[in-house]
Structure 1
Amino acid sequence: MRVNGDVRRILGSSRLYPLPIEGEFSTIRQRCSLSDVRNVAHASDSEATEKELALFEPLLPARRFLDEILKC
């Protein structure tokens, strides 16, 4: 999915600690994450996106197979 706008500001830092002592949790990661490495959102720049998507390409044949099974 391609998103325009200030996505990183909305997601917030992937480093959650130390958490703010006062004030609201204003980013998605502050509100919904369990830890620095267990968070609910990910964003990449264009170059990193290509590398990350390539990691999942070997899984695509299995995905198509599962989609066919689930249609039944």
Structure 2
Amino acid sequence: MKSHEKILIATDFFADATHAVDYGYSLAKQLRANVILCTVVTVSAELPQADGIVWPMDESDILRKDSSD
């Protein structure tokens, strides 16, 4: 890979994903590639009308803080 290449690393911050992030970051350093870190959030959509689910506002703030950390 050349230095203008990118590696996308997706994480949900569970233990296995954290290991994958560490590996992806180490690989990117060796290849001198840029890293795009994508935070993945699972939203339960068991209802037929998923758009009817109300997401608590404080949850969004917590997710943003965790992503920044």
Sort the TM-score into its range (normalised by shorter chain): under 0.3
TM-score (norm 2): 0.24
Structure number with larger C-alpha Rg: 1
